[in-house]
Amino acid sequence: MVSQAVVGVIMGSSSDWETMKNACDILDAMDIPYEKKVISAHRTPDLMFEYAASARERGLKVIIAGAGGAAHLPGMTAAKTTLPVIGVPVKSRALNGIDSLMSIVQMPAGIPVATVAIGDSGAKNAGLLAAQILSAFDENLKNRLEAYRESLADKAKGSELE
Ligand SMILES: Nc1c(C(=O)O)ncn1[C@@H]1O[C@H](COP(=O)(O)O)[C@@H](O)[C@H]1O
């Protein structure tokens, strides 16, 4: 049986997948059911509106939205839902993702997007943030997150320098 998705991972283009895969890898590792889709505020605006407007009633709890360049997807998604939206600035070819970051982070007061860092690490942290939000209501997930943190600490303590 496929579990009901609680996280929606959306991205402006299939070219964002290499970055956004990092968020999905974390969700897989944390055993969190999610769905992933290409949705664009620019190229498929009606689909974007419909997706965001129906997200809560379809059972989603958090949305992770990644986009590059003129990255309107996270903010426009946030405008159409009161679910938490985590924005991932995808590294753009022309401006290295600074454009994506500025587009996503500078939301007007009232419509927040929780913005992470540019690129792969940001996407990974978006997955972790989604997990941490859900863990406020899920003891087992909290335990998995604690085990993950312990593995990070063990790795750091085991670091060898030349
Ligand atoms: N920023 C957006 C939006 C949006 O914000 O709605 N839709 C697509 N894009 C971005 O355009 C970049 C180039 O896309 P292509 O590689 O398809 O040309 C991608 O990083 C995508 O997120």
**16 is annotated as contributing to ligand binding:** yes
Confidence label for 2 from pLDDT (cuts 50, 70 and 90): confident
List residues near ligand 1 (CB under 6 A). 11-13, 15-16, 40-43, 67-73, 90
Please give the average per-residue pLDDT across 52-80, as a whole number. 98
Distance 40 CA to ligand 1 centre (A): 7
> Residue ranges of the alpha helices (H) in the chain?
17-29, 45-54, 73-79, 98-105, 120-135, 139-157
Give the residue extent of every domain in the chain: 7-158
Mean pLDDT of 69-83: 98
Q: Cα 148 to the chain's mean position, in Å?
A: 18
Say how many C-beta atoms besides its own lie within 10 A of residue 158's C-beta.
Answer: 7
Pocket test for ligand 1, best of 16, 49, 80, 120 (most atoms within 8 A of CB): 16
> Can you tell me the distance from the alpha carbon of 60 to that of 35, in angstroms, rounded to the nearest whole number?
9
Q: Which among 103, 99, 74 has a CA at the least distance from the CA of 8?
A: 74
List the one residue out of 8, 118, 19 whose CA is nearest residue 65: 8
Entry pTM: 0.97
Q: Please give the average per-residue pLDDT across 100-109, as a whole number.
A: 98
Q: Looking at the domain covering 7-158, what would its CATH class be?
A: alpha beta
